[in-house]
């Protein structure tokens, strides 16, 4: 599940700063274990009739179960409190039942271990309005409502994580049991329904239509899913797997721009982990009123608001899509047994998004994603810290925080860097293969790494997974008599259980055009390392590749080191930080080196994501640089170049270039900022361009709004 890397602090946004507000400490938190089971859930067979005008459903479910112990006389299932239970049968015979909150206890008579029984439940629900994850309230069944601007908008979706599938179907609703499933859903005849597995039957009933979806492979019940409504659907195939791209009616034009890289993701993940995509179908369902993303098995639900078009930027849905697709292996094929090990789902999905960016956009993009993950976690760590894997938590939903997402992703990046790709991916292949279709615990992943690589993973788990916190480092260096002396301090507060870390690290020593990597072993609160050097290095960096999760609050980089770091550091965020510091210096020599670095940064996914530090200086001598950047292959860089030019006085050539950019084929952001720059220069002279822009369409209407603003009379207080 994901909204973005930083929708993440779902459980923590309401807490004040300081460890005293830690939601993972008593009394907010208590010890949780997976609940006991009386039976093994084998199959869930659901029938649902949808009455949209009355916002109600009528259902029947058959839970096929086998007793885990002989002599059991009652079976516990879960049913949302908004559901009415109209009757229960056990193997066709009427049965008594009682309810206590969401617990539904059914009297079965004595059961024999291993012998299947069928518990049939007739139920109904009305006016329940479940929310998507992170939107507040509970999940369950959600009715899509018409709005004034779109009275034909209608339909529904379901949301099961964490324990909300039982809000629309009575069943066992916890991830420590997996089952096959089938859904038969009856809806208005002009609707379509997408569910888990394969579409095995459709029945036309005149005014209604019934869709039967069958999933023959076991999965957790929180991954049960139905979406229904009037849709545009594009179907395709990838290596025998059905692909469904599902969007609201009238939005089919956005399918390619939103999902055109799905096949590449499927191929990359399947090849990387040596385990082919495990389900017979993959549907990506973009739904009104849904936020975030939910990795329902073989049928991910996504927000309609995330749909995009190529002019909006390079594959703007790739982060969300790769995260949710990654869950089809980590979370769906292999599922955490209890929410205390949510990281086995979410940390891996976060890592897979990072890996896909490395594959599709290059190393600089990967470096930036890792940096973003670390920063996202650090923000939460200032409020509270917890172990990634823990039994101490307030509730299952609280586990979906920045420790489970970006911290866990950064820790897995750390493990990857320590082991190397062959060993890391080999262990994950063994893990996915051995435990497929199984609820798992953190220890099973640890054992997979140990057995696959021969490297005892217990030490890594002990400090990175099972304890709170992270390394907080300070380092400095000196050169004297042919030796570099590097002093490293670990500054993290250990009073809350954060350890002093043992970390295999690297030191980068530059003599000019490259960094030589020297291994060191960090293990103390303060230690000094010595390295021979013929001359004073141009720069010395601790962990120049950002190969492990760490915070360095103060970078003791000297002014003399900055040009080398700017040009030769192997890490894009470090190069950008050097650029920022050189701009603060502001000397002509520093500014010229920054301009050269920007000019040389020509990749479609550039190392420098922001060049506004130079543009904010509004120096006319850099006009040729910004005019060059209008042709950069990266849309964000083009946009920043227009903004930079807009800060300069207007001239004939620049005005001509920006007027030409206001066209239906140029990137949306570039068109919008070009309009703003032209309006700031001369609203009257450029009014013809603004009027023509009123007819340029984009998904969110940004160009039209910019043109409307430009055509308004200038404020007497502007300028």
pLDDT tier, 716 (very low <50, low <70, confident <90, very high otherwise): low
pLDDT of residue 615: 96
659-686 burial, b if ≥16 CB within 10 A, otherwise e?
Answer: bebbeeebbbbbbbbbbbbbbbbeeeeb
Kindly report the number of other CB atoms within 10 A of residue 456's CB atom.
Answer: 11
Assign 719 to helix, strand or coil. coil
Q: Label residue 255 by pLDDT band (50, 70, 90).
A: very high
Closest CA to 17 of 381, 472, 378: 381
Place of tokens 């570099």: 484
Q: Which residue has the higher pLDDT, 127 or 75?
A: 75
Three-state DSSP at 154 gives coil
Supply φ then ψ for residue 374, to 5 degrees.
-60, -45
CB 129 within 8 A of CB 102: no
Q: Residue 15's pLDDT is what?
A: 35
**β-sheet bridge partners, residue 43:** 64, 180
Confidence bin at 93 (pLDDT 50/70/90): very high
H or E element, residue 256: helix 255-259
Q: Considering the chain, what is the average pLDDT of its residues? A: 95
For 141, counting Cβ atoms within 10 Å of its Cβ (0-12 exposed, 13-18 middle, 19+ buried), the class is: buried
Q: Identify whether 111 is preceded by a cis peptide bond (ω within 30 of 0).
A: no
What pLDDT is attached to residue 633? Answer: 98
- pLDDT at position 452 over 50: yes
User: Is 158 within 8 Å of 129 (Cβ atoms)?
Assistant: no
Predicted pLDDT at 11: 38
pLDDT digits (tens, 9 = 90+) for 603-636: 999 999 999 999 999 999 999 999 999 999 999 9
Residue 10 pLDDT greater than 50, yes or no: no
- pLDDT at position 13 is 37
Model confidence band, residue 513 (pLDDT cutoffs 50, 70, 90): confident
Judged on CB neighbours under 10 Å (0-12, 13-18, 19+), 115 is exposed
In contact, 190 and 256? CB cutoff 8 Å:
no
Comparing C-alpha atoms, which of 124, 191, 120 is closest to residue 157?
Answer: 191
Residues 316-331, mean pLDDT to the nearest whole number: 98
Over range 89-110, report the average pLDDT: 98
Give the C-alpha separation, 331 to 1, whole Å. 9
Query: For residues 228 and 259, what is the distance between their CA atoms, to the nearest angstrom?
Result: 20
The size of the chain, in residues, is 719
Q: What is the pLDDT of residue 21?
A: 81
Structure confidence at residue 717 (pLDDT)? 58
| pLDDT, average across residues 233-246 | 98
> Could you tell me how many helices (H) and strands (E) the chain has, helices first?
19, 29
Predicted pLDDT of residue 12:
38
Share of the chain above pLDDT 90, in %: 94
Phi, psi angles (nearest 5°) of residue 644? -60, -45
d(CA 505, CA 523) in angstroms, rounded, equals 10
DSSP state at residue 368: H
Percent of the residues in the chain that have a pLDDT greater than 70, as a whole number: 96
Coil, strand or helix: which one is 172? coil
Cα 448–429–285 angle (5° rounding)?
A: 120
Q: Quick one: pLDDT band at residue 136, thresholds 50, 70, 90?
A: low
Q: How confident is the model at residue 135 (pLDDT cuts 50, 70, 90)?
A: low
Alpha carbons within 13 angstroms on the beta-carbon side of residue 698 total 27
What span, in angstroms and rounded, lies between the C-alpha atoms of 334 and 608?
A: 38
pLDDT tens, residue by residue, 676-712: 999 999 999 999 999 999 999 999 999 999 999 999 9
How far, in Å, CA of 376 to CA of 381, rounded?
A: 9
- pLDDT value of position 17: 40
User: DSSP per residue over 395-414, as a string?
Assistant: -GGGGSSTIIIIIHHHHHHH
With CA atoms as reference, report the closest residue to 191 among 47, 50, 291: 50
Task: Please list the helix, strand and coil fractions of the chain in percent, rounded to the nearest 5, in that order.
Answer: 35, 25, 40
Residue 517: CB atoms within 10 A of its CB come to 13
Q: Is 60 exceeded by the pLDDT of residue 281?
A: yes
Point out which residues pair with 194 in neighbouring strands.
227
**Dihedral sign, CA of 489, 491, 494, 500?**
negative
pLDDT score at 1: 78
pTM (2 decimals)? 0.96
User: Cβ of 369: how many Cβ atoms within 10 Å?
Assistant: 25
pLDDT of residue 20: 52
Report d(CA 671, CA 696) in Å as an integer.
Answer: 10
pLDDT score for 19? 46
Contact yes or no for 529/514 (Cβ under 8 A): no
pLDDT at 6: 41
Task: Give the pLDDT of residue 2.
Answer: 62
Report how far residue 162's alpha carbon sits from residue 173's, in angstroms, rounded to the nearest whole number: 9
Mean pLDDT to the nearest integer, 75-86: 97
> Residue 16 above 50 pLDDT?
no
Name 661's Cβ contacts closer than 8 Å, sequence gap at least 6: 630, 642, 670, 671, 674
């Amino acid at each position: 599940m994901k909204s973005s890397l930083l929708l993440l602090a779902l459980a923590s946004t309401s807490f004040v700063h300081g460890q005293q507000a830690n939601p993972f400490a008593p009394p907010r938190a208590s010890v949780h274990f997976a609940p006991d089971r009386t039976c093994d859930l084998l199959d869930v067979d659901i029938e649902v009739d949808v009455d949209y005008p009355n916002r109600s459903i009528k259902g029947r479910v058959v839970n096929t179960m086998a007793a885990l112990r002989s002599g059991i006389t009652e079976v516990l299932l879960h049913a949302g409190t908004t559901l009415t239970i109209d009757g229960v049968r056990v193997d066709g015979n009427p049965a008594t039942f009682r309810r206590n909150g969401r617990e539904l206890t059914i009297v079965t008579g004595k059961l024999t271990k291993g012998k299947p029984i069928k518990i049939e439940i007739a139920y109904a629900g009305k006016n329940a309005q479940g929310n998507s994850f992170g939107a507040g309230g509970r999940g369950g069944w959600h009715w899509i409502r018409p709005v004034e601007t779109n009275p034909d908008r209608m339909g529904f979706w379901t949301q099961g994580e964490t324990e909300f599938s039982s809000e629309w179907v009575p069943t066992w609703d916890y991830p420590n049991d997996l089952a096959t499933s089938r859904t038969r859903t009856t809806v208005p005849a002009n609707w379509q329904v997408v569910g888990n597995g394969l579409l095995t039957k459709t029945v036309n009933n005149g005014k209604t239509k019934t869709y039967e979806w069958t999933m023959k492979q076991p999965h957790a019940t929180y991954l049960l899913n139905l979406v229904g409504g009037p849709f545009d659907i594009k179907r395709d195939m990838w290596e025998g797997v059905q692909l469904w791209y599902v969007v609201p009616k009238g939005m089919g034009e956005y399918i390619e721009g939103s999902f055109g890289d799905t096949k590449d993701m499927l191929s990359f993940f399947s090849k990387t982990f040596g385990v082919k995509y495990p389900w017979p179908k993959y549907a990506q369902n973009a739904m009104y009123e849904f936020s975030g993303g939910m990795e329902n098995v073989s049928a991910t639900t996504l927000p309609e608001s995330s749909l995009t078009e190529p002019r909006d930027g390079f594959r703007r849905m790739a982060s969300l899509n790769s995260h949710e697709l990654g869950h089809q292996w980590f979370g769906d094929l292999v599922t955490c047994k209890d929410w205390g090990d949510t990281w086995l789902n979410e940390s891996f999905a976060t890592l897979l998004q990072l890996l896909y960016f490395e594959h599709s956009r290059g190393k600089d993009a990967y470096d930036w994603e890792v940096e973003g993950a670390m920063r996202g976690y650090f923000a939460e760590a200032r409020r509270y810290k917890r172990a990634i894997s823990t039994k101490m938590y307030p509730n299952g939903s609280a586990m979906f925080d920045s420790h489970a997402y970006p911290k866990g992703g950064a820790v897995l990046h750390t493990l990857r860097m320590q082991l190397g790709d062959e060993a890391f991916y080999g262990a994950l292949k063994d893990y996915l293969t051995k435990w497929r279709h199984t609820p798992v615990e953190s220890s099973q992943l640890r054992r997979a790494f140990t057995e696959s690589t021969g490297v005892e993973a217990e030490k890594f788990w002990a400090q990175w997974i099972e304890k709170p916190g992270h390394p907080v480092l300070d380092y400095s260096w000196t050169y004297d008599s042919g030796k570099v002396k590097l002093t490293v301090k670990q500054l993290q507060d250990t009073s809350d259980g954060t350890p002093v870390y043992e970390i295999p690290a690297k030191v980068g020593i530059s003599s000019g055009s490259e960094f030589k990597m020297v291994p060191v072993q960090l293990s103390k609160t303060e230690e000094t390392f010595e390295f021979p050097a013929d001359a004073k290095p141009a720069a010395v960096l601790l962990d120049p590749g950002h190969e492990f999760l760490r915070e360095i609050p103060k970078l003791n980089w000297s002014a003399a080191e900055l040009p080398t770091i700017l040009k030769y550091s192997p890490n894009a965020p470090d190069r950008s930080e050097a650029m920022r510091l050189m701009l603060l210096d502001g000397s002509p020599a520093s500014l010229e080196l920054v301009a050269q670095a920007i000019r040389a940064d020509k990749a479609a996914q550039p190392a420098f994501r922001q060049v506004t530090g130079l543009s904010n200086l509004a120096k006319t001598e850099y006009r040729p640089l910004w005019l060059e950047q209008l042709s950069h292959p990266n849309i964000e860089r083009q946009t920043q170049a227009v903004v930079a030019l807009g800060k300069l006085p207007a001239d004939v050539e620049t005005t001509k270039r920006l007027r030409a950019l206001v066209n239906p084929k140029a990137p949306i952001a570039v068109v919008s900022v070009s309009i703003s720059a032209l309006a700031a220069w001369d609203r009257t002279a450029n009014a013809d361009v603004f009027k023509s822009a009123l007819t340029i369409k984009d998904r969110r209407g940004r160009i039209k709004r910019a043109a409307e603003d430009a055509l308004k009379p200038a404020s007497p207080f502007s300028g």
